[in-house]
Structure 1
Amino acid sequence: MNTAEHQRLDEDERRERNWKRWGPYLSERQWGTVREDYSEGGNSWSDFPHDHARSRAYRWGEDGLLGFSDRQCRMCFSVALWNGNDTILKERLFGLTGPEGNHGEDVKELYYYLDSTPTHSYAKAMYRYPQRRYPYRELVAENSKRGLNDREYELLDSGVLDENRFFDVTATYAKESENDVLIEIAVTNQGPEEHEIAVLPTLWFRNTWVWGCAHEGCTAKPTIQAIDSHVVQTRHDTLEPFVCSFENQPGSELLFTENETNMEELFDGENFSPYTKDAFHRYVIHGEKESVNPKRHGTKVAGLYRWKLKPGETQRVRVRLTIKDMAGEFHPDVADEFDQILQTRREEADAFYQTVLPSKATDEQRLVSRQAYAGLMWTKQFYHYIVADWLDGDRDVMTPPEARHQGRNKDWRHLYARDVLSMPDKWEYPWFAAWDLAFHMIPAARIDPAFAKKQLMVLLREWYMHPNGQLPAYEFYFDDVNPPVHAWACLRVFQMEAETGKRDYKFLSQAFQRLLLNFTWWVNRVDSNGDNVFAGGFLGLDNIGVFDRSKGLPEGAELEQADGTAWMAFYSGTMMSMALELARHDRSYSDMASKFLDHFIRIVDAMNGGESGGLWDEEDGFYYDQLKIDGQTYPMRVKSLVGLLPLIAVEILDEDLLDDLPGFRNRLEWFLNNRHDLVQHITFCQTTKRHRRMLISIPTKERLERVLKVLLDESEFLSNYGIRSLSKKHETEPFKVTVRGQEHTVAYVPGESDSWMFGGNSNWRGPIWFPTNYLLIEAIERYHEFYGDDIEIECPVGSGQKMNLLQVADELNRRLSNIFLSPEEGGSRPCLTGSGMKSDESLWQDQVLFYEYFHGDTGEGLGASHQTGWTALIATCIEHLHGRIIEGVE
């Protein structure tokens, strides 16, 4: 593959050119995050609300609209807007805090990631800006009236976008070189009447100078100084001087201020400078001419362009940010050069994705995949959180209350985050989440393996991983327990890159060594009885079970988890496969492969009926949690993903591959000859006269077929849009159990939660989730790799149609793809149904949203609307429908 983008990726990986220095690393929400919370009670939402954001400088990051920054977020660029009616300048996205929403936090804006190459040599996104006054108060008030059985009240419900009365604001970035970024802001009036808009392309420095934080390397105040009517020059201790040219249009002007808190406005205090962060808001909306610096310098600058656009009219402004010694003779009025660079980068992006997307895919499938990858790239973010500094406070300002030392994340003082990380959603989740990131890297590895490997390794570093081996879960509570999928992601990324001819054993070895620490932490934490049946916290399926696992069980009770045990078998099998792969390169790893084989089989034995009695229910043909209390054991007969997850723990050993590993082979033979009690869990098949293949999995062939009959039943798990997380039968037949006089109930809820249980986050009880669907599909493919056509099963149940397991996997991929594909020409995508978005393809249906999870019956998108990390797995599903493409050859 030799496209221009592949060449840039290669140059960046070899550190010949710093192509990834600039990118969409700017958060979409910094306000309301834990790291900006300096309150007594630790309520991040109320301590730093949206209404403060325009006037208050951030301590740990920045946010903006359709923005770019350098990878350390020192210098930032985004666009601000005013429609002539709003009460505030639109500089960032608005949404409801967790307590304000009837289904939790929720961004109340419409924006779309349209394109991006891995190096961000070309990137494009769009924001849909109402022409009427934005209904801030109405959105808060109406949602506060609604309960859990009501839909969320969305921006489209307010009527402000009726008759297409909105502007489409598109930001396009193209790099001429690694330090030469061309920016075009295009605004189109989609409404029926002429309307005015003010557009402010804005450049500023993140405030690192008032806190006295030496680790930034810049405690001196930087400057942005005008050197011409529409050109500025920057100075910063750790950045080269840059020149930023704003297009000179009739009536346009440059505005200057400081990126510093308006202490007088917010806290009745004394300002650091007469020019504050909210100056442009005051200048544009209230006409306060004195709010901006007439001497034309500061730490924040914007070009101000006022346009009156006719219906359908588009106006553009061009900006160029260039390192000073590269500025040359450029002037943005030279439109031909500017437009040609944008066009070239767009064509190069097309050429790159031509090598990635399946050639047989339909135009609609390619559009979905391309935007899925775009969202994955746009949700990279500079993430900055040094826990020790946050706990102790800064030298000069922002001293936290003493209670903080006993509160959130107090045991993670070692955590030192100052990296570009893949976020789940840069508004609803503008912080890393460990198990989310693992899934993000599967599609990321398709387009940028180097990035995927670095992301997986960074969480294993000693400045993230706890000294006891635990991986940090997520910012709100690093101590939380998420499923152990990191090893799986590392192995899959290695294997995907190996398919292109590159086997990065250094990466795999480094990951394996660090994962050994994490595996030990898991074993010590969640197998308290030493019987290989596991329990312990969320494990990613926190709300399917009967009990709120985050609050603990009734006193004296013990819950043995089918999903927790399955995750540990999955982890053990993955570590075994990693060790075997490494042993090809270094035979010393064969000992570790034997260790994890032993772990794997012991867990399989415990799951199926070891000393604990096992978690298999012969009557129902399903795996269940078991509650042990008051000397009794009760199976929790809830048909959910908890009982499907045992399918994912499956590994295949091919004796052909073990010929070069005599040490492992000898230990395996000893195991086969001497542990007859455990060997029953290994299935053999003969491939040639001399060689066998061995399958190690939790379910036997017979049990696998029984579980699959439940999975593939449309009245239970199988939806037109994938695998539900809870059986639909629980809609009419809820599971109920009484423990010590208190009744607990689990019922199928296909969409948003109808209960405040689990903090109002019971959304695992029915919807479709891409991560778990992906793991189950992958497992089914592996079972087919072993069993071939020996297993044929009715799919869907009752249809009379028999399929082998590879065909079943394809059918599940197809159903997942249905979430995003219009069922008929000109129709609505299921993921957008219920959102109020019209079926007008050009304005609404060509912009795809990649939600957090999906309605179990309709496929409607729910939860975070831009969960483009793990939902970008849709691109991989579409790829599988058309066969893998490597180097352009199917």
Structure 2
Amino acid sequence: MTITAVGYDAQSEVQADGNGLARPPHPESTAEGIRLRETFGKLLWRRWGPYASERSWGTVREDYSPNGAAWDHLSHDASRSKAYRWGEDGIAAICDRYQLLLFGLALWNGEDPILKERLFGLTPAEGNHGEDVKEYYFYLDNTPTHSYMKYLYKYPQTRYPYERLTEENRNRAGKGLEFELLDTEIFDEDRYFDVFVEYAKSSAEDICIRVEAVNRGPEAAPLHLIPHLWFRNTWAWGETRGVAPVIGEGPDREQSISLLADDTHADRLKNLPFEYHLGQRYLFAPDGGERLFTDNETNAERLYGVPSASRYVKDAFHRAIVKGETEAVNSNRTGTKACLHYAYKVPAGESVVLLLRLSAEAPSDPLRNVEQIVKTRRAEADEFYATIQPPNATDDEKLIQRQAFAGLLWSKQSYLFDVNAWLEGDNSNAPPPASRAAIRNRHWRHLNSMRILSMPDKWEYPWFAAWDLAFHTVPFAIIDPEFAKEQLFLMLFEQFQHPNGQIPAYEWEFSDLNPPVHAWAVWRVYAMDKARQGKGDREFLEKCFHKLLINFAWWVNKVDSAGNNVFEGGFLGLDNITVIDRSDKLPGGAVLEQSDATGWMGMFCLNLMRIALELAVESKAYESLALKFFEHYIYIGAAMKNMGGRSYSLWDEEDGFFYDVLRFPDGSFHKFKVRSLVGIIPLYAAETLRLADIDGFQEFQTNFLWFVRNRKQLTESCCHYVECKNQYELTVVNEQQLRRMLERLVSPDEFLSPFGIRSLSKFHESHPFQFGYSEVRYDPAESDNKIKGGNSNWRGPIWFPTTFLIIESLRTLGAGYGDDFRIRIPGQSGEKNLLEIAREVANRMIRIYTRNEEGERPVYGGTRKFQQDPHWRDLILFYEFYHGDNGAGIGASHQTGWSALVAALIDDWRR
């Protein structure tokens, strides 16, 4: 991103490359824009949203095992019978801000052995390539205030093949393709229901719900629609049971019945600095439904062979509806969990519609205008996105972008986790096993979340991941900049950021290391917001900067053990990209000096320098900090080449590339000559300093120029003066070295795929790198190598976050070097400047999703149903990563988090 030293000048960037971030003002004149403005800093329209997970079983928070085997401790089979401690799950479920009360939809087709209350998937031990959801569901629409939301679940009409999916994938043992639900032939002859769930808020506390189930099959088929209303169990965990809320029968109205949920007399949440409760909430539904009641309590007899705390337990509706055990439900018609049971026979090609209303009020005719309210909010969503989407985007690109935004918004979660309580247990009479304190997160007792957080994926990753979240905020800033800013600061807030300065990585191990991208994200979101509003949010920038200073100090002290400005870093989110597991401590005192860790830190320095200069516009005290980070960047850049009397550097002059170096205590070393993203990441550290822009910063300018002129042995390798433009290019490579790296980057035989940038050079397909018993070979899809987890792959596939940063760097370098710096892409005529190459890569990433000349979307590879069926072909899934040669989606199928960056690419390059 080309940004002036003083701040973000949108117009100058548009004039420079024709595709900058400048855009019309945020659409505050729309109905949704007005709601956003009213909601800022308050609950109001945001109190209710899609904040429930799609999987709480098998997660770290619900794991109280002695060995930390979360997947084994609470299985999918047990989930219907076990009350969750830290958060609920459901299909298309919504809840209030602190997840006291939830609404979700359950289904039964008359043949399944299990009531479909939550999504099914495989554990790492069962999946062919790690944990994997085995359902087809889609986020079709959503608005920032959740005034309108639409979700689609495809429900088969025959018995769900749970056992076959598990057995077939387990037998494949990590080899070949996943065995998917479509492969079971269960959707053949279109024998399934399209179940659409729409939410439309009449007001902040009044939610209209429209459920439509369409029979796509050739024959009439039975379908049970079972809307659920339940309270999260907040009362059963202490030494004494608390006072629970209650759900009972509500008032009947003309042609409608209701449930009444009331927490007025229940114990209040103890983890908040204020009192919070909901009071009474009504769920209205049409006549003809059967009201059933139970308690959200564990079926201890089924799971553990001991008496349950209540006669009526969580799995009662499954037992009553599927098993016919009518005694399982409470005949007194009260409890903490309730449902409405509707049974239909849906004719072929037709549908049934169920209208409901969840409200704090009890109007005389609650269902009368539900359809109209849904229609109105749907039209307002169209109006809002019409002002958001770029004018030069095709209709297909707009469809993709809107579903990407929907996925981001649907993937919010009420993230409830008090690590100290999790470690110690709630009941001193029944503490967790002592071993759990040594398994994970024992250094994070301060982490205490009652926040709405953006998830990478609410099934496969139903927990926040810090570096994922940083990338989420960029597309979020297009539609809801206040939420984007809030998310970034939360990672730096005292209840998240460690007292030592570390940002928590992810739930499985908060102490693991993710790349330091938060300063970049803070600056990027700030700049986007400033371009839109005409004024930057200085308070946001300043408070983030203060916390980022602490985080920077932690990084320097933690991962620069030798003090030579070359960083070890560890895992850094790239899983199995390297020869050895970077999370493990190396034997014999060996240290892996990492090109990517050092590159990330160079980028971190330049980000902080930019922020400091922006803050210095109003407070000159920040100039010295800007200078400090400039100089620290210089030390890092120089160290990557050669410094401190070492006989090696991370830069390899022979290959024209950066490599990791394994350094031994005796001074010997081994260079890992693997051409991967590890060696490209140093390009992320790129900025332009125009001398005209720093005229107003006397202290910074004076000392900057002194340092450049008097420390040439350091600056000449990473601070390059462009005389014709009177500016300095801050890059860790000079023009000649940059050209050599970029020639590899744009080579189809190496990194440049038709669909973006590969994580490993294709060169290693026929030239694998070997070290001892380890081998690194190009694999464009899933790898057999399981160094770090079984479902991630960085040995060939394309990833959105890393490629997005490459595009950002190319834009910065292109605006800095100008049109004279050109590279030829093999197979294309002529040469392109760096901005044109950035556009080329961005277009290739967008092309993953758009229809090609054959009318097919590369993301779906050879899956005929998604490519050809009119009821599937415009439903977009946003995968974890993508095939390095054909662009097919791989890994987690709903990771709209960082793959939603495609929405930002469309926004950037279609204006």
Query: Which bin holds the TM-score, normalised by the shorter protein?
Result: over 0.9
State the structure with bigger RCO (CA 8 A, min sep 6), 1 or 2: 2
- Which residue identity is paired with 1:362? T
Instruction: Give the superposition deviation at 1:593.
Output: 0.4
Alignment root-mean-square deviation, CA: 1.6
Give the deviation of 1:687 after TM superposition. 6.2
- Secondary structure of 2:375 counterpart: helix
Amino acid at match of 1:99: A
Shift of 1:312: 1.2
- 1:5 maps to which of 17, 27, 32: 32
Question: Equivalent residue for 1:859?
Answer: 887
Aligned partner (choices 729, 732, 738) of residue 763 of structure 2: 729
Shift of 1:328: 3.0
Q: Which residue, out of 330, 349, 360, partners 1:323?
A: 360
Q: How does 1:61-100 map to 2 (within 5 A)?
A: 61-100=87-126
Asked if the contact 1:754/1:762 (under 8 Å) is kept, the reply is no
SS state at 1:405 partner: helix
Q: Which residue of 1 aligns with 2:314?
A: 277
Q: Aligned to 2:284, which of 228, 246, 262?
A: 246
Paired AA for residue 840 in structure 1: Q
**Structure 1 counterpart SS, 2:261:** strand
Partner of 1:623: 658
Out of 497, 501, 506, the position equivalent to 1:474 is 506
1:34 to 48, 60, 67: 60
Shift of 1:396: 7.0
Aligned CA distance change for structure 1 residues 289 and 396 (closer, same or farther; 3 Å): farther
* Distance verdict in 2 for CA 1:530–1:56, change over 3 Å: same
Distance 1:30 1:744 in 2: 36
Q: Is the 8 A contact 2:67 2:439 kept in 1?
A: no
Q: Which amino acid aligns with 2:260?
A: Q
Please point out which of 781, 788, 794 is paired with 2:824: 794
Residues 513 and 569, structure 2, Cα contact 8 Å, conserved in 1: yes
Q: Please give the alpha-carbon distance, in whole angstroms, between the structure 2 residues aligned to 1:839 and 1:871.
A: 20
- DSSP 3-state at the match of 2:871: helix
What whole-Å deviation, never above 9, does each CA across 1:728-777 have from its counterpart, x for those lacking one? 1101111123xxxx333110011011123334356100000000000000
Q: Which digits, 9 at most, give the CA deviation of each residue in 1:602-644, with x for residues without a partner?
A: 1111112223442111111111111223542332111100111
- Which of 824, 828, 832 is matched with 1:803 structurally? 832
Match of 2:777 among 737, 747, 755: 747
Structure 2 CA distance for aligned equivalents of residues 90 and 678 of structure 1:
63
Which residue is 1:201 aligned to?
A: 227
User: Counterpart of 2:698?
Assistant: 662
> What is the match of residue 568 of structure 2?
535
Cα deviation, residue 880, structure 1: 2.5
Residues 636 and 303 of structure 1, relative CA distance in 2, 3 Å threshold:
same
Q: Tell me how far apart the structure 1 counterparts of residues 580 and 305 of structure 2 sit (CA, whole Å).
A: 48
Equivalent pair of 1:365/1:878 in contact (CA under 8 Å): yes
380, 394, 397: which one aligns with 1:348:
380
Contact 1:543–1:761 (CA under 8 A) maintained in structure 2: no
Distance 2:289 2:245 in 1: 25
Give the structure 2 partner of residue 888 of structure 1: none
For residues 298-342 of structure 1, give each alpha carbon's deviation from its aligned partner in whole angstroms, at most 9, with x where no partner exists.
111111111101111111111111113xx333422x1xx211111
Say yes or no: does 1:707 pair with 2:741: yes
CA-CA distance at 1:536 after TM superposition:
2.2
Q: Residue type matched to 1:240 in 2?
A: L
Task: Report SS of the residue matched to 2:224.
Answer: strand
Aligned match of 1:171: 197
Aligned ranges 1:96-115 → 2 under 5 Å: 96-115=122-141
- CA displacement, residues 438-469 of structure 1 (integer Å, 9 cap, x when unaligned): 00001001100100111111111111111111
Q: Determine if the alignment matches structure 1 residue 848 to structure 2 residue 881.
A: no
* Residue correspondences, number: 864
| Aligned pairs (5 A) from 1:226-625 | 226-229=249-252, 230-236=257-263, 237=266, 238-249=276-287, 251-324=288-361, 327-332=362-367, 334=368, 337-395=369-427, 399-500=431-532, 501-611=534-644, 612=646, 613-625=648-660
Shift of 1:672: 2.4
Distance 1:294 1:836 in 2: 49
Equivalent in 764, 786, 790 of residue 756 of structure 1: 786
Counterpart code for 2:234: T
Q: Could you tell me whether the CA contact under 8 Å between 1:122 and 1:174 is conserved in 2?
A: yes
Q: Secondary structure at the match of 1:845?
A: coil
Residue 777 of structure 2 aligns with an amino acid whose one-letter code is A
Letter in 2 for 1:382: S
Residue identity opposite 2:699 in structure 1: G
Residue among 237, 245, 256 paired with 1:211: 237
Instruction: Find the aligned partners of 1:446 and 1:456 in 2 and give their Cα distance.
Output: 15
- Would you say the 8 A contact 2:199–2:208 is kept in 1? yes
For residues 510 and 427 of structure 1, what CA distance do their matches in structure 2 show?
33
Change (3 A) 1:481 1:798: same
**Residue 816 of structure 1: SS of its match in structure 2?**
helix
Matches of 2:621 and 2:667, distance apart in 1: 46
Secondary structure, counterpart of 2:196 in structure 1: strand
Q: CA deviation at 1:227?
A: 2.5
Q: Which residue of 2 aligns with 1:187?
A: 213
Distance change (3 Å), C-alpha of 1:380 and 1:221: same
Would the aligned equivalents of 1:213 and 1:219 in 2 still touch at CA under 8 Å?
no
1:634 is paired with a residue whose SS is strand
1:338/1:396 Cα in 2 relative to 1: closer, same or farther (>3 Å)? Answer: farther
Partners of 1:502 and 1:191 lie apart in 2 by 55
- How far has the Cα of 1:14 moved from its partner? 4.8
Relative to structure 1, is the Cα distance of residues 658 and 864 closer, same or farther in structure 2, using a 3 angstrom cutoff?
A: same
Q: 2:576–2:785: 8 Å Cα contact kept in structure 1?
A: no
Distance across 1 between alignment mates of 2:370 and 2:280: 18
SS at match of 2:286: coil
Matched, 1:693 2:727: yes
Preserved contact between residue 286 and residue 356 of structure 2 (Cα < 8 Å): no
Shift of 1:539: 1.2
In structure 1, give the amino acid aligned to 2:837: V
- Equivalents in 2 of 1:798, 1:196: separation in Å? 57
Contact 2:147 2:377 in 1 (8 A): yes
Q: What per-residue deviation string (whole Å, max 9, x for no partner) do you get for residues 124-182 of structure 1? A: 01111111100111111111110322211111111111111111111100111111111
CA–CA separation in structure 1 for the residues paired with 2:573 and 2:606: 19
What does residue 711 of structure 2 align with? 675
| CA displacement 1:91-121 (0-9 Å, x = unmatched) | 0000001111121000000000000001100
Q: Which runs of 4+ in 1 moved over 4 A?
A: none
**Secondary structure of the equivalent of 2:747?**
coil
Tell me the secondary structure at the aligned position of residue 587 of structure 1: coil
Cα distance in 2 for partners of 1:763, 1:447 equals 31
Q: 1:814 aligns with which of 843, 863, 872?
A: 843
Code of the residue aligned with 2:736 in structure 1: it is E
Please state how far the C-alpha of 1:398 moved relative to its aligned partner: 5.8
Letter in 2 for 1:91: E
In structure 1, C-alpha distance between the alignment counterparts of 2:308 and 2:172, rounded to whole Å = 41
Unaligned stretches of 5+ residues in structure 2: 1-26, 267-275
Question: TM-score when scaled to structure 2?
Answer: 0.93
Listed as ranges, the matches of 1:874-885 within 5 Å are: 874-883=902-911
How far residue 219 of structure 1 moved from its aligned partner, in angstroms, is 3.6
Conserved 8 A contact 2:638-2:715: no
Identical-residue share of aligned pairs (%):
49
Whole-angstrom distance in 2 between the partners of 1:360 and 1:670: 46
Q: Is the 8 A contact 2:651 2:657 kept in 1?
A: yes
- The corresponding residue for 1:785 is 815
Paired letter, 1:822? R
CA–CA separation in structure 2 for the residues paired with 1:64 and 1:517: 39
Give the Cα separation in 1 of the matches to 2:380 and 2:902: 23
Q: Alignment partner of 1:34: what SS?
A: coil
For residues 410 and 909 of structure 2, the distance between their equivalents in structure 1, rounded to whole angstroms, comes to: 26
